[in-house]
Amino acid sequence: MTGFDSLEGFLDKWRERWPEWPMVERFLAPETQRRTLAWFALLQEFDDMLNVSGDPLPANAKLGWWSEELRGWDGQRSRHPLGRLLEPVRAPWQALAAALPDLVEARDTAADAGQARAALAGFAEAVAAIEAVLFESGADPRAGQAVVDQLLAQRALALGAAAVPSALGSEQAWLRVLLSQWPARVAGPRPRRLYAALARGRLQARLRGGTYQPSPAGLLWRGWWAARG
Question: How far apart are the C-alpha atoms of 168 and 111, rounded to whole Å?
Answer: 9
Residue 228 has pLDDT above 80, yes or no: yes
Please give the pLDDT value at position 210: 78
User: What ranges make up the beta strands (E) of 61-171?
Assistant: none
Its pTM stands at: 0.94
Query: Cα dihedral sign for 6, 20, 122, 137?
Result: positive
Please give the pLDDT value at position 129: 97
Angstrom CA distances, 127 to 92, 102, 144, stand at 9, 12, 7
Return mean pLDDT, the chain. Answer: 93
Please give the pLDDT value at position 6: 87
Q: In which domain, by residue range, is 48 found?
A: 3-228
Residue 3 has pLDDT above 60, yes or no: no
Confidence of residue 138 (pLDDT cuts 50, 70, 90): confident
Amino acid making up residue 144: G
Instruction: Work out the average pLDDT over 6-30.
Output: 94
Question: How far apart are the C-alpha atoms of 93 and 106, rounded to whole Å?
Answer: 20
Residues near 199 by beta carbon (within 8 Å), at least 6 away in sequence: 150, 153, 154, 157
Please give the pLDDT value at position 225: 94
Domain containing residue 54: CATH number: 1.10.600.10
Per residue in 51-84, pLDDT (tens digit) is 998 899 999 999 999 999 999 998 888 899 999 8
Please give the pLDDT value at position 137: 82
Residue 2 has pLDDT above 70, yes or no: no
Please give the pLDDT value at position 59: 95
Instruction: Work out the average pLDDT over 85-99.
Output: 96
Please give the pLDDT value at position 4: 44
Structural domain total, the chain: 1
Instruction: Work out the average pLDDT over 139-168.
Output: 94
Per residue in 181-215, pLDDT (tens digit) is 999 889 999 999 999 999 999 999 999 987 888 89
